[in-house]
Structure 1
């Protein structure tokens, strides 16, 4: 099953695996969007994201990053 914009926790884990040393709070939304849509398991419409969705993904990623 492909990831969608609503799968912020799963996307966060995939981003952590792909970019383990990157502090998520330093990533610009334009880069975050590119990284999310570039994930092999991502299958949603790239145009369906917005600032709120990207922020939720970034915060979920940050929590995982902090806990590692």
Structure 2
């Protein structure tokens, strides 16, 4: 599955599975962006990651964790 920046829930699920030891509340946006870019299924322009997109991914990850 190819992931795009707008696939915040799918990205959150992938991140939760790959990083069960990381608390998403404490991840800064630089690290979060790098984690998303490192996902095997991620295929989108790195330039298109903005604060709102990263915040949506982080919030989805927090909700997925709960």
Q: What TM-score comes out, normalization by structure 1 length?
A: 0.94
The Cα of 1:21 is off from its aligned counterpart by 1.9
Question: d(CA) in 2 for partners of 1:59 and 1:4?
Answer: 16
Q: CA RMSD in A?
A: 0.7
Q: Please name the residue that 1:53 is paired with.
A: 53
Measured in 2, the distance between the counterparts of 1:12 and 1:19 equals 10
**Following TM superposition, where does structure 1 have runs of at least 4 consecutive aligned residues deviating by more than 4 angstroms?**
none
The correspondence of residues 32-47 of structure 1 with structure 2, limited to 5 A, is 32-47=32-47
Number of residue pairs the alignment of both structures matches: 66
Q: Compute the TM-score of the two structures, normalised by the length of structure 2.
A: 0.96
